[in-house]
Structure 1
Amino acid sequence: MSTDMYGITDQQWLTTQRAVLTDEFAAQTARLTELTADTGDPADVDTHAGLLAVTRANIEQLTGALRRIAEGSYGRCARCDGAIPPERLEILPHARFCVPCQSKHEG
């Protein structure tokens, strides 16, 4: 098991990432609950539908990241199987691709 310059082990880092993802999952699930219960202004139907779609997509991404942690594949690129830098995962914890593969995937 390796440590970084701050003395954090890979397992500690992964535990922290799991906690961040779990907290965000709970927040997004609560938001989805609020949105589905909202009986707001009928004029805001498009905005409401957009918020529902984004929230559901966020939950799907978070679920996938938590699944990859459980499977042991978190932090590995889904395309090239290379390591996704921890800095990228700290910014985008649900990232499935390294930056070069993400560029190819979008392009």
Structure 2
Amino acid sequence: MTTHVQPDERNWLDKLRTALTHDFEVQTARLTQLTADTGDPGGAHTQSALIAATRQSLDQITDALRRIAEGRYGICERCAASIPRERLEILPHARFCVPCQQKHAG
């Protein structure tokens, strides 16, 4: 983590890291349950969609934890501007500021 992080930001990042780690554990357990063979061919499509969504969530959590560890969390990957804390509180895995996200998605 970079040395210019304020103590209240460091505390917030520590809490966020803990919450993301917990979410990772919950999603990993969910993925284990979803990939167990239930023997119900009728629910295969729904189960496949749930597995894909869970894997995407795990990827997003892993990426956010990596950015925290590398000191890059909260920095837009496109323009290098700070991502507002309010956005990160709502969307902890955000990689882009709002203007860059709109350009990326559009």
TM value normalised by structure 1: 0.90
Query: How far does the alpha carbon of each residue in 1:45-89 deviate from its partner, in whole angstroms, 9 at most, with x for none?
Result: 110100000000000000000000111000100111110111111
User: Structure 2 stretches of 5 or more lacking a match?
Assistant: none
1:66 equivalent in alignment to 2:65: yes
**Residues in 2 aligned to 1:15 and 1:87: alpha-carbon distance in whole angstroms:** 16
| Structure 1 residue 38 displacement after superposition | 4.0
The runs of at least 4 aligned residues of structure 1 exceeding 2 Å deviation read none
**Aligned length in residues:** 102
| Structure 1 residue 2 displacement after superposition | 3.4
Sequence identity (%): 60
Counterpart amino acid of 1:75? G
| Structure 1 residue 20 displacement after superposition | 1.3
**Residues in 1 aligned to 2:48 and 2:94: alpha-carbon distance in whole angstroms:** 25
| Structure 1 residue 40 displacement after superposition | 4.5
Counterpart amino acid of 2:68? I
Partner residue of 1:28? 27
Aligned pairs (5 A) from 1:1-107: 1-2=5-6, 9-107=8-106
TM value normalised by structure 2: 0.91
| Structure 1 residue 32 displacement after superposition | 0.3
Q: CA RMSD in A?
A: 1.2
User: Structure 1 stretches of 5 or more lacking a match?
Assistant: 4-8
